[in-house]
Homo-oligomer: A and B are copies of this chain.
Amino acid sequence: MTIWNNENSEAREGDLVELVGVGYKHIILQLEKDGVLHTHRGVVQHNDLIGKPWGTKTTSHTGNPFFLLQPSLADLIRGIPRSTQIMYPKDIGFILLTLGVGPGTKVLEAGTGSGGLTTALTYSVGNEGHVFSYDKREEQQKTAIRNIEKFGLAKRVTFKIRDIADGFDEVGVDALFLDVPNPYDYLVQVKTALKPGGFFGTILPTTNQVIRLLPELRRNFFSFIEVVETSIRYYKPESERFRPVDRMVAHTGYLIFARPFLTPLEDSLESEDGDPDENSGKNQ
């Protein structure tokens, strides 16, 4: 059980909680005895929150309202201080599902970045699983480590400073995700770490990178290659004028998934008509 998603019906000392104030401003904080939170709308005493049930409304010394909440995973990820491009919830949800990351999964990622995906991975693998997170930039990874520790997830992840050209220490991991600009340079290392038929994924912002990656995947006997863009569109939640919002994110990156094998599948499995099995998920 992580410290924030606990089973208690009220906030306790040490819990990571979320306060929501005027304008739906989100603040994530860890409750400490006698702690004090300074906001633009006044001071809130931690002691006024400790022991209170979720959903409690409190007020700052200036009379502004704040609601006490368990933080959502998406809010935690969105709230991470970022020194690099953050991964978006729209992509993270799809990545977790496609890689099959869940309780007990052993998953490897590189680079760590700001730790957005690391947070989701460590949350999802549970105490029985484990995350191995590589980055070559020490300063970068320190920031991510601080976040993961704040979220109470540190014991589920091993951080390493490494140029992944030198390879990974692990073998037989269930899933492996690369968030680096040049994944095509590390496919041999990926294959060594990932079990045969394991789940590989990567995200690339430009078509040029995808174009460069695809032949390298095949050359290294990766199969079930899928390239996919996700997008989400929010609606204004107004019953009398129900319509989409005016603007949306147009692009984050292309997601590429594949599974490595010891021999090339494609030579064997292409059917005469070239049509993929309709259960293969294309177009879904």
Contacts and interface: CB of A to CB of B under 8 A. Distances in A.
A233 interface: yes
Query: Which bracket fits the contact residues of A?
Result: 35 or more
B89 A103 contact: no
Interface stretch (A132-140, A142-150, A256-264): A256-264
A233 B261 contact: no
Contacts of A239: 211-212, 214-215
A166 to B, nearest CB: 24
B102 A242 contact: no
A169 interface: no
A276 B233 contact: no
A96 interface: yes
A180 interface: no
Nearest to A129: B103
B98 A127 contact: no
Given A235-B228, A242-B207, A247 B283 contact: yes
Contact of A230 (B90, B207, B271): B90
Say how many copies of this protein the assembly contains: 4
Nearest to A267: B65
A250 B251 contact: no
Interface in A225-252: 225-251
Contacts of A15: none
A210 B242 contact: yes
A38 interface: no
A37 B15 CA distance: 52
A69 B262 CA distance: 12
A29 to B, nearest CB: 14
Contacts of A279: 25-26, 75, 78-79
A124 interface: yes
A205 B243 CA distance: 7
22 contacts: A21-B269, A22-B269, A54-B197, A55-B196, A55-B197, A67-B197, A69-B259, A73-B97, A75-B279, A88-B284, A89-B94, A89-B97, A92-B97, A93-B96, A127-B128, A208-B241, A214-B237, A227-B235, A228-B234, A231-B233, A247-B283, A248-B248
In the A-B complex, list the 4 residue pairs whose CB atoms are closest, starting with the nearest.
A55-B196, A103-B126, A23-B271, A93-B93
Interface of A: 1-2, 5, 7, 9, 20-26, 53-57, 65, 67-70, 72-75, 78-79, 88-90, 92-98, 100, 102-106, 120, 123-128, 172, 174, 195-199, 205-208, 210-212, 214-215, 224-251, 254, 256, 259-263, 265, 268-271, 273, 275-277, 279-284
